[in-house]
Amino acid sequence: MNDCIFCKIIAGEIPSKKLYEDELCLAFYDIQPLAPQHFLVIPKEHLTGANKIDANNAAVVGHIFAVIAKLTAQLNFSDGYRVVTNCGEDAGQTVKHLHFHVLGGKQLGSFN
């Protein structure tokens, strides 16, 4: 995906504040944090959003949640965290590469 900003981050063409990387995913800090702790985890495979998860590619989602559990423990998110993925226009998705926001470091408001 030539014009995808997150694919460019994976390729190292755009700098990021990287937290973690393996063969399947990359974690890096969000450039506009919405909480004291806010990072993103993305699959290296370009999927445009959560609506493109299917039986063939779903394993990466479980892997990403395991990575999130490890990273939040390392970063001392001791009072909890929230994982969010925005999918499509109504959810306000701005980057069309599947990503999971991980937010913590404060009492997060309820949402509805």
Q: Which of 38, 97, 99, 101 is catalytic?
A: 99
Q: Which does 55 bind (CB under 5 to 8 A by kind): ligand AMP, Zn ion, none?
A: none
Q: Pick from 4, 10, 9: which is nearest to 22 by CA?
A: 10
For 47, residues 6+ apart whose C-beta sits below 8 A from its C-beta are 53, 57, 97, 98
Site stretch for ligand AMP (CB under 6 A), options 18-26, 52-60, 73-81, 91-99: 91-99
Pairing of strands 81-84, 37-43: unpaired
Q: Decide if residue 16 touches ligand AMP (CB under 6 A).
A: yes
Residue of 9, 37, 39, 97 interacting with Zn ion (CB under 5 A): 97
Q: Which of residues 24-83 bind ligand AMP (CB under 6 A)?
A: 30-32
Site residues, Zn ion (CB under 5 A)? 1, 4, 6-7, 46, 97
